[in-house]
A and B are shown apart, each in its own frame.
Chain A
Amino acid sequence: DVQLVESGGGLVMPGGSLRLSCATSGFTFSTYSMNWVRQAPGKGLEWVSSLTPSGRSTYYADSVRGRFTISRDNAKNSLDLQMNSLRAEDTAIYYCAREPLGHQDLDYWGQGTLVTVSS
């Protein structure tokens, strides 16, 4: 079975940093693009970032570009999101999601990890 399990969330002060991870299993990780999507408390979904199977191409929402870095380790079947200069508005549940090659949908999602930015 396809599984995506996020970790690394927690409470961080404004201006601080946090690194999220997504451990995957049940599929050939190196052949899929991967994405991060977030959801602020009581709000809708917001696409955050994605990267191609090789990791060579990365894409970011304007709201996080220059502060967040997406990366992957195909040997470990894992996806990361390094978040720097965190702001209160970054408070959200962060989901990792799989994107089939040649498609634009997100067919499997993790259960999410909560990031709270507060003093």
Chain B
Amino acid sequence: QSVLTQPPSLSATPGRKVTISCSGSSSDIGNRNSFVSWYQQLPGTAPKLLIYDNDKRPSGIPDRFSGSKSGTSATLAITGLQTGDEGDYYCETWDHNLNVGFFGGGTKLTVL
């Protein structure tokens, strides 16, 4: 069973940069056929796609958000933090051995 591990919470001040890690294994993130996605969920709303294919931004997502993948881990970076960025962030990938999807446990971001 794949498990994607994220820090439960992070906090930072407006204008600063924060990175959120997502640690997996060779069967999910570390599989060369697997791609990592990142989602933002603001309070009381549905999740929204921030990053797909490890490092690509959908149309309309500002370049303050960036993603990367290395080995069995992935990272979401947010620069120029704004109070409106407060919410929960989830990584997600597909396990090609089990043919199931997995989300990380989520990271609650507080912008103080």
Contacts and interface: CB of A to CB of B under 8 A. Distances in A.
Interface of A: 35, 37, 44-47, 50, 59-62, 95, 97, 103-112
Contacts of B58: 107
Interface string B70-100: 0000000000000000001010111000011
Interface of B: 1, 34-35, 37, 39, 41, 46-49, 52-53, 58, 88, 90, 92-94, 99-106
Contact of A45 (B1, B34, B47): B47
Contacts, number: 67
Contacts of B88: 44
Given A44-B105, A44-B106, A47-B92, A107 B52 contact: yes
A62 to B, nearest CB: 7
A59 B99 contact: yes
Contact of B100 (A61, A103, A105, A108): A61
